[in-house]
Amino acid sequence: MKLDRRAAMTTALAGGVAFGLCETAHAQQSVDPDRQAVLAAGMNEAEAECWKLTAQAAGKFFELEELHPSDRAEVATAIHVIQHKLLARPTYRKYLEEAKRLRQEDD
């Protein structure tokens, strides 16, 4: 496999996802710092669970045999789209609440 910028980034992403999915028995008993981070960012429990499952799906995909050279980069991009959508939800929710409050003040 030719190691260009894209291949290096994809390999790094896959390694990061795989590292994030490797949990020891001790880690399973302790609080998940990634979950804590996304909850602190404003995600609710369902969104945090979706975040975790997205990472697990990415990890599983990157364990599969490569069938086409662009698959890894395309899946990495798709995972990032999901992550961006999830990260935007707390801000959008706050915007909707504030817009509703301001409309009520105008009435």
Give me the average pLDDT of each 10-residue run along the chain (107 residues).
Answer: 58 54 51 94 97 97 96 97 98 96 92
| CA-wise closest residue to 96 among 104, 86, 106 | 104
C-alpha–C-alpha distance, residues 44 and 3, integer Å: 39
The predicted pLDDT at position 89 comes to 98
Instruction: Quote the DSSP letter at residue 34.
Output: H
The predicted pLDDT at position 15 comes to 55
C-alpha–C-alpha distance, residues 96 and 99, integer Å: 5
Q: How many CA atoms lie within 13 A of 20 on its CB side?
A: 21
